Structure 1
Amino acid sequence: MKAAIIGATGYGGAELVRILHQHDYIKQYSVYTSSQVGMKFSESYPQFNQITNEQLKEIDIDKISEEVDVVFMATPSGISNELTPKIFERGLTVIDLSGDLRFKDQDVYETWYKKKASPKDVLQKAVYGLTEINREIVKDAKLIANPGCYPTATILGLYPLLKNVKVDLDSIIIDAKSGASGAGRKASLATSYCEVNENFRIYKVNEHQHIPEIEQALKTVNPELGPIKFNTHLVPMTRGIMATIYCKPLNKMTEKSLRDLYQDFYQNDTFVRVREVGNYPSTKEVYGSNYCDIGITYDERTGWVTIVSVIDNLMKGAAGQAVQNLNVMLGIDEGTGLYGPPLFP
């Protein structure tokens, strides 16, 4: 196949280049930008020097449609909703890493993202590409809304419990943290070195745009779910997300039964690793990989469950997940191009 990456100069775009460069089924990939047209990709990312000679091209929908089979939209939110309908109507497969296609309700998107939503008919055709949950419908999709990074960690952490155990839905609390790369490559005061280093900060309190995405996905397993309590923090590190999730089951459980539930649920999912009882993951243990590691515990004293879910926000939270979806759509090994182990230290 031939692939195009629109928005290749962002962190997510660069990760796509890294993955597709070693993907067995991608014959060729091209890179597109609105800001660095004419530059070599390796000028923007010197680590690709002598690895790829691709030149950053201007975004030309007609030309792209003639030259490639699949398009990865690695653009900021608000751009894909203009470009994707034009690309999709030309018969190409589109995998959108932004938030522009994740909501079926246009009003929800416009309320939380403060941007004009994609056309309604396009949104209805988009499949939410959280592979482990929606694998069967991803197989036949041509338009994928790649999940957000926080939602990926949170939904994978909560889904097995909500599907199999009666939970006090008002008790769900998600305390999430992310590295600075989650804000993108564009320079800003909030993510500058002096602001981030040796600092720990909460942000977008009660108003993060990923809140309705998490609610929408979890309501598919429990329609009675109401508003969730979800807040995010910026950690002085580059990559990684940790979602620490608290909730109270309505009936007593055991530590072993809880762990067995998760192990059974994800037993056929290559990229979700459930930890042994008493073992909890850290972000460094999934760094640079497509894995989501989950640790779980039940406190018999309080009757509360604690779930710790970690991912690399640029991989399982963005580019890795996008390629995993592509693999499922192609009917090939789901881990093609993604089997590399995490980097450590």
Structure 2
Amino acid sequence: MITAGILGATGYAGQQLVWFLHKHPKVELKFMCSHNYAGSKFSDIYNNYSNFIQNKCISLEECECKLNQIDVLFIALPNGSSFNIVKKALLNNIKVIDLGADYRLNSAEVYKEWYGIEHNAKNLLKESVYGLPEIYREKIKTSNLIANPGCYTTASILAVYPLLKEGLIDTNSIIIDGKSGISGAGRALKTNSLFCECNESVKAYGVAEHRHTPEIEQQLSAAAKKEVILTFTPHLIPMNRGILATCYANLKTYISEEDLYNLYNSFYGNEYFIRILKNLPDTRNVRGSNLCDIAIRIDKRTNKIIVISAIDNLIKGAAGQAIQNMNIMFGIDEKEGLDLLSMQI
């Protein structure tokens, strides 16, 4: 039995982690840590757990005292908050899966540029593995520190990666239009994510400066084996959860849509959580699942390829992918605890 703890258990991603770990047949959840709700029963914060999860949330200080009880620590804290606890966990031979951005970027300087935070664990950047299983599964197997990808980045990278790996597109032509449910803004009280601010409205934000941009560029540059600079524009959509990424690029040479589908099916054909579809992806078809749906179109008039992907931002874009990484790290079935399809209505 794998023993686990969660830091930041009462945010949306943290709550989703609790949900998965509570039902996982090979995991015992030892503690849930919360800065704002230490001492409160988890089921008093999220009433859907009444009579099922009666445990109280603990403080960070208590968490540090309980590290010797766990095999893996999940961290769902604000950026810049994980440095010290990650160091302590690794010193105690505890595997760490960080859902924040602190270990996603290879460069501490790039991290400071985009997040405005001095990186306080630079030596760990070389040890961390980017936790996108469909790309880095073999490295994840032997890693003790996983940088769980962001939601926009997961959808975008999975959509475009095969094209760059095969050198089929102009690396200077990539445009990604991302749309996210409101839960992507987190559970903290913010005027811009209030119901009246978001309902019956769609809005762009973080234009030309969203923090997921260097993360996407870093991974796509690795695929292309050259620097990739792209345009990424995110939008908020008045729904609870979901990511739809529409990715555009110029084809270098003509290739048929059929050949592109053959390429994607070859690249992802054995991936349980990726579906290559003829129909265009719809967020409701992945909501509540760890699936990523991808479809491809060619605009012959403009010689552009359009790849569209859909995920649940809180699952494949956060907690579900973290569980997938944990399963890989501990050598158990990757689907364990995640074998769920979307519920339509």
Is the shorter-chain TM-score for this pair beyond 0.5, marking a shared fold?
A: yes
1:313 aligns with 2:328: no
Aligned residues of 1:20 and 1:29 also touching (Cα < 8 A): no
Aligned residues of 2:21 and 2:28 also touching (Cα < 8 A): no
Residue of structure 2 equivalent to 1:195: 197
Matching residue's letter, 1:89 = L
Aligned residues of 1:110 and 1:116 also touching (Cα < 8 A): yes
Residue of structure 2 equivalent to 1:116: 118
Q: How far 1:223 sits from its partner (Å)? A: 2.7
1:139 aligns with 2:125: no
Matching residue's letter, 1:90 = N
Give the structure-1-normalised TM-score.
Answer: 0.97
Residue of structure 1 equivalent to 2:69: 67
1:342 aligns with 2:342: yes
Kindly report which structure 2 residues correspond to 1:194-273, keeping only aligned pairs within 5 A, or say none: 194-273=196-275
Aligned residues of 1:41 and 1:53 also touching (Cα < 8 A): yes
Q: How far 1:74 sits from its partner (Å)? A: 0.9
Q: How far 1:76 sits from its partner (Å)? A: 1.4
Aligned residues of 1:100 and 1:118 also touching (Cα < 8 A): no
Kindly report which structure 2 residues correspond to 1:317-328, keeping only aligned pairs within 5 A, or say none: 317-328=317-328
Aligned residues of 2:218 and 2:228 also touching (Cα < 8 A): no
In percent, how many aligned pairs have the same letter? 43
Q: How far 1:52 sits from its partner (Å)? A: 1.1
Matching residue's letter, 2:47 = P
Residue of structure 1 equivalent to 2:130: 128
Give the structure-2-normalised TM-score.
Answer: 0.97
CA distance in 1, matches of 2:241, 2:329: 28
Aligned residues of 1:183 and 1:191 also touching (Cα < 8 A): yes
Superimposed CA distance per residue, residues 82-101 of structure 1 (whole angstroms, 9 cap, x where no aligned partner): 32122222211000000011
CA distance in 2, matches of 1:214, 1:267: 23
Superimposed CA distance per residue, residues 170-224 of structure 1 (whole angstroms, 9 cap, x where no aligned partner): 1111011101100100011000011000011110110000000001111111132
Residue of structure 2 equivalent to 1:44: 45
CA distance in 1, matches of 2:167, 2:267: 13
Residue of structure 2 equivalent to 1:13: 14
Tell me the SS of whatever aligns to 2:327: helix
Q: How far 1:226 sits from its partner (Å)? A: 3.1
CA distance in 2, matches of 1:28, 1:147: 23
Report the RMSD for the aligned CA atoms in angstroms.
Answer: 1.1
Tell me the SS of whatever aligns to 1:230: strand
Listed as ranges, the gaps of 5+ residues in structure 1 are none
Aligned residues of 2:68 and 2:92 also touching (Cα < 8 A): no
CA distance in 1, matches of 2:94, 2:28: 16
Residue of structure 2 equivalent to 1:105: 107
Bigger mean CA offset, 219-228 vs 185-194: 219-228
Aligned residues of 1:211 and 1:230 also touching (Cα < 8 A): yes
CA distance in 2, matches of 1:193, 1:119: 38
CA distance in 1, matches of 2:260, 2:167: 9
CA distance in 2, matches of 1:294, 1:190: 30
Aligned residues of 2:30 and 2:69 also touching (Cα < 8 A): no
Superimposed CA distance per residue, residues 299-333 of structure 1 (whole angstroms, 9 cap, x where no aligned partner): 22322110001100000000000000000111111
CA distance in 2, matches of 1:64, 1:243: 40
